[in-house]
A and B are shown apart, each in its own frame.
Chain A
Amino acid sequence: MSEELKESVVTDVLVDPVSGFAPGARPFASRLSAESVSLGYAGRSVSEALDVRIPDGGFTVIVGPNACGKSTLLRALSRLLEPTSGSVLLDGKSISSYGAKEVARRLGLLPQTSIAPDGITVADLVARGRYPHQKLLRQWSEADEAAVIQALEATNVAGLSGRLVDELSGGQRQRVWVAMVLAQQTPLLLLDEPTTFLDIAHQIELLELFRRLNGEGNTLVAVLHDLNHACRYATHLIAMKDGAVVAEGRPADVVTAELVEHVFGLPCLVIDDPVSHTPLVIPLGS
């Protein structure tokens, strides 16, 4: 089944079922892709010969059970992890052939864990996102300033600009980190579990922000834990299990009760979400 899905995805038209935004009927272009990559850590292999293409202009979400290799894949796509074989391509060239700052100008990453130095203010932290664009003597150009202001406003933390990051709530802090990545002004955004540890209201708030960014033309790739959130917001879903891609495509096409049971081992019912008209997964009691 996964083979057929893959076939159809390559030529499918991507239509976001919520906004109805249709980029036009064409095979999807992909600036970022992984070609036959094998990934692993210190002798332990996570994925073998994985092929993944990230659709441009889409909001791709990778889902799967714990330790299925989704974070590993994201790390490989963001150059944090080097594949043991195969290569990750960015704009046609192998990603490791670019300079570090060059990659950082094209691809932004929100890592799972980051440390906010003690005593740093919101604006200071967001301003650090401008590093890839700065030089020794060009440390605060007008473009830098504008980018920071824009990022602060987009994430709704402009009012917190002068506050210490330590004093913020978990939700606010996560938004600040997102603002830092936004300040980088990259067309591609990779987000590793951006909504974990946030309460539901903040999760939705962040996901709505991501959707808005996607609508403005940015390509997003996120690893999400919550399958229903993924269904609701993704334009392209990649389901992984045991290091391999089991299914990918539009959530409406891909998410079925059989898939969820196969990937997560969870018997469930899939219905149509009455608000967003995307698949809604309802677990069945055992």
Chain B
Amino acid sequence: MTSLDQVLPLEKATSVDFGRRTIAIRRFGGRVSLRFDVRTLVVTAVLFTAALALAVVALGLGEFSVAVPDVVSALLGQSSGAVHMVVVEWRLPRVLLALLLGAAMGVSGAIFQSLTRNALGSPDVIGFNTGAYTGALVVILLMGGGYFAVSAGALVGGLVTAALVYVFAYKKGIQGFRLIIAGIAVSAMLASVNTWLILKASLEQAMSAAVWGAGSLNKITWDQVLPVMIVFGALLVVLSFYGRRLGLLEMGDDAARALGVRLEGSRLVLAVVGVALTAMVTAAAGPIAFVSLAAPQLARRLTRSAYVGLVPSAAMGAFLLVASDIAAQNLFAPTQLPVGVVTVSIGGCYLVWLLAREVKRQ
């Protein structure tokens, strides 16, 4: 405790023993008071730094490789010509999107896992991604649309599917088990439709559709990044008001209500934010699997905290996606794999490991 006080003399260690180092910050005559778990703070900071470091590395890798110091100066606007074009105009949108989407998926996964009180809750499991794929396939194969048309189709498909699954699973409230099974059922039906569509298309169309379906960050430009930044920002603002309720909802309906949480309203808003985040990711890059599943649990293991924290999950998600993207681009160079293939393979392995070690109580 003493070394911490020397480093941060104005923050007080709490006099309540939380079993872990905790600091309290009070300012403005008590109008602002916050409590932080030190380990969580440190882990989150490390993860964010690591993600950014990987991002810088990613900016330098590729056919035209750029040394790290040059990358940094390009980012600061101090270079010109080829380096500037490669780093800032070609690669930066993709890397930035990887950071943002990874963070979004981490948060979305954290929300779902907390709401369903199940370490394996994730938007992947409720059939959203399969439905988005169906919507996109319809646009790609039947309407021949471009990027934004495909995004719109994916959004519509995914949202309709999520709504359907919700309706099927709703019986005086949502039970985690029913939601998962309804998601599996609806996914299977839509997967059949997708198989059919892929079978009927030409090989070229089918392959490019399959690349989208695996989740891909190829060919991302700046005008695709901007909408994501706006939507993400808006959702984060909403989330900041509802975030704390997540932890309370985990204690059971009665306990949460006893503490003054509006159950159905909070759950609805949180679920909508979770789905919206997933929808944003899918519209921007196709359904990227397993980051939402893995990031919150991995973050939780590192912070050893009792609940799935939103911020650490975001940091871990960003880190995972940037790392996967580096792998996807460079593993089989010059052929680029869709990033979703890497995340699904790694993510599936992680999941297998998780189940084999232990599964938290539902």
Contacts and interface: CB of A to CB of B under 8 A. Distances in A.
Interface of A: 42, 78-80, 99-105, 108-124, 127-129, 131-132, 134, 136-142, 144-145, 148-149, 152, 161-164, 181, 184
B260 A101 contact: yes
A115 B252 contact: yes
Nearest to B28: A137
Interface in B23-45: 24, 26, 30-35
A118 B247 CA distance: 11
B33 A121 contact: no
B31 to A, nearest CB: 7
Contacts of B24: 140, 145
Contacts of A101: 260
Given A104-B258, A114-B251, A117-B247, A141 B18 contact: no
A132 B18 CA distance: 20
B259 A131 contact: yes
Interface stretch (B299-307, B323-331, B344-352): B299-307
Contacts of A121: 18-20, 306
B306 A119 contact: yes
5 tightest A-B CB contacts, nearest first:
A162-B19, A104-B260, A111-B254, A120-B306, A140-B35
B17 A162 contact: yes
A120 B114 CA distance: 14
Contact of B16 (A114, A120, A141, A148): A148
Given A104-B259, A104-B260, A184-B259, A149 B252 contact: no
A111 B20 CA distance: 28
Nearest to A114: B255
Contacts of A100: 257, 260-262
B217 to A, nearest CB: 34
B19 A113 contact: no
Nearest to B14: A145
Contact of B240 (A110, A136, A142, A164): A136
B250 interface: yes
Contacts of A105: 260
Contacts of A162: 17-20
A114 B34 contact: no
B14 A117 contact: no
B219 interface: no
A138 B30 CA distance: 8
Given A117-B247, A120-B306, A149 B16 contact: yes
Interface in B226-283: 240-241, 244, 247-248, 250-252, 254-255, 257-262
A14 to B, nearest CB: 27
B81 to A, nearest CB: 47
Interface of B: 14-20, 24, 26, 30-35, 117, 172, 240-241, 244, 247-248, 250-252, 254-255, 257-262, 304-307, 360-361
A74 to B, nearest CB: 11
Contact of B260 (A115, A124, A131): A131
A79 B30 CA distance: 32
Contacts of A132: 259-260
Name the residue among A131, A144, A148 with the largest chain B CB count within 10 angstroms.
Answer: A131
A161 B17 contact: yes
Contacts of A149: 15-16
A137 B31 contact: yes
Given A111-B258, A115-B250, A161-B19, A137 B32 contact: yes
A209 to B, nearest CB: 19
A100 B245 CA distance: 13
Contact of B307 (A117, A141, A144, A163): A117
A78 B254 CA distance: 10
Given A127-B16, A137-B34, 11 more contacts: A100-B261, A114-B255, A118-B306, A122-B19, A128-B251, A132-B259, A140-B35, A145-B14, A161-B19, A162-B19, A181-B258
Contacts of B19: 121-124, 161-164
A141 to B, nearest CB: 5
Nearest to A184: B259
With a 10 A CB-CB cut-off, give which of B252, B258, B261 has the most chain A CB atoms: B258
A211 B173 CA distance: 38
A109 B260 contact: no
Given A100-B261, A149-B16, A164-B19, A113 B254 contact: yes
A121 B117 CA distance: 18
14 contacts: A108-B258, A111-B255, A111-B258, A115-B255, A117-B306, A120-B307, A122-B19, A127-B35, A132-B260, A136-B241, A139-B35, A145-B14, A161-B17, A161-B19
Contacts of A161: 16-19
Given A129-B259, A162-B18, A138 B254 contact: no
A111 B304 contact: no
Nearest to A148: B16
Contact of A128 (B16, B259, B360): B259
A112 to B, nearest CB: 7
Contacts of A78: 258
A34 to B, nearest CB: 18
Contact of B257 (A79, A120, A145): A79
B117 A140 contact: no
Contacts of A113: 252, 254
Most A CB contacts (10 A, CB to CB) among B30, B255, B304 go to B255
A100 B16 CA distance: 28
A271 B260 CA distance: 43
A184 B250 CA distance: 18
B16 A139 contact: no
B359 to A, nearest CB: 11
